[in-house]
Structure formats: structure tokens, C-alpha cells
Chains A and B, each alone.
Chain A
Amino acid sequence: MKILVFVKQVPDTDDVKLDPRTGNLMRDGVQSVINPFDANGVEAALQLKAQCGGQVVAISMGPPQADDVLKKALAMGCDESVLLSDRALGGADTLATGYPLAKAAEKIGDYDLLICGRHATDAETAQTGPIIAAFLGIPQVTLVDKVSVEDGYAVCRRLLPDRYETVRVKLPALITVCSEINTPRYPTPINIMKALRKPRAVWNCADLGCDLSMVGAAGSPSSNKKIFEPPKRNTATRFFTGSTEEMARAIVDTLEQEKIL
């Protein structure tokens, strides 16, 4: 079985600020990590490989430093990695991201299962998986918290707000996974060493055979018109002050006035 797992590099922080002078994001000193849900995707791929045999290829798109997340995926146990890196790919929206990733899957070929995280923690669009599946013309199962493979089908349990839904999907298919599916393993020192010797490809648009009108900012139907800090809402807050006991009494008085108690 050939499994392709898509991983994204995201900032390891909730605390990105705007430069008040330029209005640009201040990225200095912000560490990058593998999107946590993608780490669940890698783990799911490795567990399926352990059961069914086969090969796991990790794929990412981004500037050369995005290779760090692929090294992590290899150190966890993936067999190969592919980095899509080309200046022409920069500034892409979700459509122009899904397209080259789907082209990469086509170039690798013979895939059985594609795995993405349920969403990335930076932009939280949850679109890349379904878009890759749409470009490839294969079915998708989103929000999966259990998966097994048998006789050319994947049996997936979806974690929905009110219910679990078990779906039997014919391979090849794409799934997106929740954090509930597993606990990602830590790379062992031996696997970190081994990772250095694994095949690592870097492909540009020409390698992928991309239509250049469909990638990067030029191929993106949607764009960022403006970024800004949230406007202050300025609800008049009545602050309780005094000693802890005085504040506690004022809070409970308010709970009574508001008929909560």
C-alpha cells in the first residue's frame, strides 16, 4: 500500500503581532513546527503501514526551510519525502495550494491512501484535503478518528459534533484526521540518523508539470485585501475592587441581581 501524507509548517505561537509602522506581520523569532494534526496524519500512516505493509511518502510545500517538517516526518518513520519548492508557488490561496499538491500525488502515482490533518492551526481553512481530492477525482472522508484498511477499502470513523459516522470508502481516497485518532510518536535517535539517508526529493513547477496560471498568487482567486488588529469593542466593564472577600461578595451580589443564583 502506498500512503501519501501531507504536512504543513506552521508558526509555533498564538502571539503574532503586526508591525505598527508597516502593517506587516512580525515573524522574527517565531519558531516553526509541524502542524499538530499533520503529525497525527503521519502517525496514522505509519500505523497503517505497520499493519498492511507498503510505503509512506511525506509531502510538503513551502520555502526551503519547510524541509524541517519533512525531516521530522522522516525521523518519525516515513520512507521518503517530497518538498514542493518554487518561487512561483508563493502567495497561494487554498485552490493554488491544493493544485500543485495534487500534481505531486499524480507524479508519484499508484497511491492508495492520502492523509491530511483536519486543518492547519495557522489559517484553519480545512480546505486543502478536499481540494486535493477534488483535483484527483477521488472520494474524501473528513474528520476521521479511527481508520483501518481491508480489501481495497478504508473503514473510517468520522467524529461529528453529535455522532460518530462510520464510512466505508473505496481506495484510492483521501482522509483528514483529528487529534483523537492517535498520539504521534517521538522520533528516536536511531530514526533521526536513518532519516538522513532516506530519499528526499525537491520538485519545482516544471518537475510537477504545473499550469503556471494556476499556482502562486497569480493562480489564487482569493486574496488578502487588508490585515488589521481587531477593533476594540469597549464594552463598559464594571470592575469589582477591594479585598478578595469584598470582591467575592460583590460578584455573588451581581450573580443574584442577574438572577444566575
Chain B
Amino acid sequence: MAKEDYKGIWVFAEQENGVLSGTTFELLAKSTDLKKKLGGTDEITAVVLGKSVSGLADSLFEGGAERVVAAENDNLEQYSARPYARVLTQLCEKYKPSIFLFPASPQGRDVAPRVMCELRTGLTADAIDLDVDEDGVFVQTTPNFGGNILSHICIKERRPQMVTVHPKIFSPLPTVKGARGELITEKVEVEADECYAVVSTEKRVFEGKPIANCDVLVSGGRGIKSPEDLEMLRELAELLGGELASSRPLVDCGWLPHEKQIGQSGTTVKPEFILDVAISGSVQYLAGMQNSKCIMSIDHFDGAPIWDVSHYGAVADYTTLIPAVIAEIKARKAGK
């Protein structure tokens, strides 16, 4: 088959217990943009797997899907890699999409490589941007080599061109209430994976609020000199009604748990306000927080990449400036 025979943009609509992931809608929005750039003829299809999932179609249409393929089987009720990969492979062979986008979530990153392997095509990992370049080629942007360099990856000949896409990079489209499209319900045949069983789940309990849901964050980076200094940032975060977070180095050295890490290999955040302290701003870190509404930074180096995204800042030694800010806030609170 020639690559020209593969048409359309597919989005893996990730669902758990009947709830679609937010990234599904971000990918539908980006697909609308890609469709325009590719000439407007590619249909946007959301594909959703589960026991009984055609009821999710309406919200997918309202989020930008023009067509929904709902693959249903009792054995798909709970996610596991092999049955999901088998069904997605069959659907790709039947419908022949040109582009297939997955959320770079635990589920997306678990299933997509197996589908790619069955189809002998390419899969770009954890893209932070998607575009059509000056040659008309669909390209995926990924950070590389620890973060200071970006790559444009392309899948030249094989189809579909598969990509896992980082969450919260793109904004969903405004919901179009009542929007409808073509719904195809596929009653697929698939065996359960007899070798794989989820025997129990346990909700994780976190100290503080998950950083993804915080309106205010104070984030410390490689330049933080001691755990005591980190406690100072925690105090400031508490004064501002927010949470303490960090870039990767402080998690790597064990000062903070992984769930407090902002960035590509951590959590993507979009708070109302973020204060970055002693963070230079690697591509991975910026990818995890650049859409924050108000960004303020304190770093001693005036050439750091963090300034490219900061609305406010001070080129200063945080060890004296942070205590002065804490004192000023306390004084004003006491004066009120």
C-alpha cells in the first residue's frame, strides 16, 4: 500500500471507568489545527475502546471529533496492553489512518509501542509540538539530550505516523454543544489476556494538594543550596496559599518526591501564578510550566532561559531575597 492511501487523523480517546482523559480533548484541538495545515481533507476520528463506550461519542464530537470509532467488547472493560494493542492494530489495518495521536500518559505510553511494533511503523515519544514543516512534512518536536536541544522527528514512509503527545501542551477547543458526527460502533472480537490480571488498586495519598491542581506554586531548582533553603520556599508557598514544587534535580537528589516535580518527566502545571527560584529553565522544565498565567522568577544568572517565559523577575541571590519577601508579606499581613 502506498502511503497516499492512508488518510485522516486519529486520536486515541483514553478512558478510565467511562471518563475520558483531558488530553484526549487537547489532541482533538491540535488535530483541527493539523487538518488545516495539511489541506483540510483529513477527517478527524476519535477511537475509544471499552465495554460499552459509544455513549462517550457525543462529548468527543463536542470536543472536535468528526467521526468516532467505538470498539466494544466485554474484554476491553479494564485496560490491559495486549487486548488493547490487538484491537487498535486491527482498526488501523481496516481504516488506514495517516496520523495516530496518543496521550503520553501511562496508558498511552504502555499501549502505543505495541501497536507501532505490530504495524512496523514509527512512534515519536512524548512530543511537545506537532506541525507541518516548510516541506509539507508532518513533524513532531521532542526535547533531546537532557533538554537544551529540540528535534524534529518525522516518519517518512510508514503509516500511520504515530505519536504520543505530552499532556497540557495544547488547549482544548471550546465545547460545541450539540455538535454531532458519524458514530461507528465496532463489535470487535478479542480475547482477554489470561496472563495479566489487576488484582488490586490503592489510591495514593499525597502530602498537600497535587501540584497539577494548584493555583499558586513556588518551585525550586538546581541552584537551591540546602534542604533548609527548600523549607524557606515551602514557608513562602504556604504564605501565598500554594504548594512547593521543583524541577528535576531536587527530585533526583531525594529532597522532594517525584509527584512534586514539574516538567516533561514530571507533572505539567498551569497555575495562576508560579514563582521559580534558582531554576535556569531547561526545555523539559519550560514544557511543564510555560502555560502558567503569571510567571515570576528569581535567579542569579541574567542569561538563563527562564527569562524567556517570565513576566516578572529579579536577578538576585535568593538566599537574601526570599527571606526579605517573606518578612515583607508577614509585615503587611500583620498591618492589616
Interface residues of A (CB under 8 A from B): 11, 13-18, 25, 36, 93-95, 98, 119, 121-127, 130-131, 133-135, 139-143, 155, 158, 160-170, 173, 179-180, 220-230, 232-241, 244-245, 247-249, 251-252, 254-255, 258, 260-261
Whether the Cβ atoms of B203 and A228 lie closer than 8 Å is: no
Tell me the count of chain B residues lying within 8 A, CB to CB, of chain A: 86
Q: Which of A122, A142, A225, A249 contacts B137 (CB 8 A)?
A: A225
Are the C-beta atoms of A169 and B324 separated by less than 8 Å? no
Asked if B123 and A224 sit within 8 Å, CB to CB, the answer is: no
User: A254 to B312, Cβ gap below 8 A?
Assistant: yes
User: Nearest chain-B residue to A242 (Cβ)?
Assistant: B314
CB neighbors of A among B163-196 (8 A):
193-196
Residue pair A221, B202 in contact (C-beta under 8 Å): no
26 contacts between A and B (CB under 8 A): A17-B148, A122-B145, A122-B146, A124-B264, A125-B126, A130-B114, A134-B118, A139-B193, A140-B81, A142-B110, A166-B199, A166-B202, A167-B197, A169-B196, A170-B194, A222-B155, A225-B152, A230-B283, A235-B310, A244-B316, A244-B321, A247-B314, A248-B324, A248-B328, A254-B312, A261-B329
- Which residues in A have their C-beta under 8 angstroms from that of B94? none
Q: What is the minimal beta-carbon distance from B17 to any residue of chain A, in angstroms?
A: 12
Cβ of A224 and Cβ of B152 under 8 Å apart? yes
Chain A contact residues: over half helix, strand or loop, or mixed?
mixed
Q: Are B203 and A162 in contact (CB under 8 A)?
A: yes
Q: A239 — nearest CB in chain B belongs to which residue?
A: B313
Contact yes or no, A167 B272, CB < 8 A: no
Which A residues touch B329, using CB under 8 A?
A: 252, 255, 261
Alpha-carbon separation in the docked complex, A251 to B126 (Å) = 36
Checking B144, B315, B328 against A123 with a beta-carbon cut-off of 8 angstroms, the contacting residue is B144
Complex formed: what's the CA distance from A227 to B283 in Å? 14
* B307 adjacent to chain A (CB < 8 Å): yes
Determine which of B81, B146, B148, B240 lies in contact with A130 in the assembled complex, contact meaning CB atoms within 8 Å. B81
